[in-house]
Amino acid sequence: MKIALTINHTPHSFDVEPRTLLVDLLRDHCHLTGTHVGCDTSQCGCCTVLKDGVSIKACTTLAAQVDACHITTIEGLGQDALHPVQVAFAQCHALQCGFCTPGMIMSSVDLLNKNPNPTDEDIMLALEGNLCRCTGYVNIVAAVKAAASQMRMGAKA
């Protein structure tokens, strides 16, 4: 089946099998390997991307479901400079092995787009679909709060 979508601000068209998953389209056809495959069941959140600005799990989304949509991956988040969430994750040491980081960042961006001043509880609730086996989440919550502060003060996203 033919689909057309915008990935990281660039229009694309593909001829895909109906069973093609979005994560496979991104990784295998577009070579955007920042979208990780962890569990294949949407439990870990490593595959989180933005569909029309809202976070989704790419491992359980069919490519056909995003026809005519705008997809943003971790590679497309900061076009000219790193996104404030990316900067905050680095500054707050909110990553260790880095496997969950793209999904955590994409979920955090979605949260901050909806709620520019989240509480710790808001952050934990927004990230509950993302698993990290390395950190205690303390630095991740701190990074989201720091990014929120920067974004409220006008840091470019």
The residue among 48, 77, 106 that closes a domain is 77
Beta strands in 1-109 (DSSP E): 2-7, 10-15, 48-51, 54-57, 70-72
Residue 41 shares a structural domain with residue 72: yes
Q: Looking at residue 70, which CATH number applies to its domain?
A: 3.10.20.30
Is 35 exposed, middle or buried (CB count within 10 Å of its CB: 0-12, 13-18, 19+)?
Answer: buried
- Is position 132 within any domain? yes
pLDDT at 16: 96
- Is position 157 within any domain? no
pLDDT at 123: 97
Domain that holds residue 47: 2-77
Q: Looking at residue 142, which CATH number applies to its domain?
A: 1.10.150.120
State CA 22 to chain mean position distance. 13
pLDDT at 68: 98
Residue 37 shares a structural domain with residue 7: yes
pLDDT at 156: 54
Residue 52 shares a structural domain with residue 119: no
Residue 7 shares a structural domain with residue 51: yes
Q: Return the H-helix or E-strand segment holding 105.
A: helix 101-114
Q: How many domains are there within the chain?
A: 2
- Is position 113 within any domain? yes
- Is position 126 within any domain? yes
pLDDT at 135: 76
- Is position 106 within any domain? yes
DSSP label at residue 29: I
The residue among 77, 99, 124 that closes a domain is 77
Helix-helix angle 101-114:138-152, to 10 degrees: 40
Q: pLDDT tens digits, the chain, 157 residues: what are they?
A: 999 999 999 999 999 999 999 999 999 999 999 999 988 787 899 999 999 999 999 999 999 999 999 999 999 998 789 999 999 999 999 988 888 999 999 999 999 999 999 999 999 999 998 988 887 789 999 999 999 999 999 865 5
Residue 43 shares a structural domain with residue 9: yes
The residue among 57, 77, 97 that closes a domain is 77
